[in-house]
Amino acid sequence: MDRRRAILAISCLSGAVSFPNAFAQQKPKVWRIGCLNSSTRLAYFDEFPRAMRDLGYIEGRNLVIEWRFADGQYDRLPALAADLVSKKLDVIVVASTPAMKAA
């Protein structure tokens, strides 16, 4: 076997070994969402994860939701908003005007 064929054979072999890795399933991105509200957690907040699930985002699989509630104590909102910002989330959702001002 001449040198050219040997190099070609080795190249094909190494390509065949690495080929399956090129199509390996990528780990899906986990989206991180922060939710900030000035009141306590109410029943209608459960609709948000349900709506996200309908769009294909499932908590524990490809979605993390960080909930923060001020329980009516508006002075807590800036600290709660800062906490969410420090978590490097993809998006922060606010559910009240005082929470929006704090964020």
Domain ranges of the chain: 31-102
CATH fold for domain 31-102: Rossmann fold (3.40.50)
- The per-residue pLDDT for range 7-52, each reduced to its tens digit, is 545 554 444 444 455 556 677 899 999 999 998 887 778 898 999 9
User: What gap in Å lies between CA 99 and CA 103, rounded to an integer?
Assistant: 6
DSSP state of 21: H
- Kindly report the pTM of this predicted structure: 0.69
For residue 39, give Cα distances in angstroms to 27, 45, 80.
36, 11, 12
The pLDDT of residue 28: 81
Looking up tokens 């001020």, which residue turns up?
70
User: What gap in Å lies between CA 39 and CA 95, rounded to an integer?
Assistant: 9
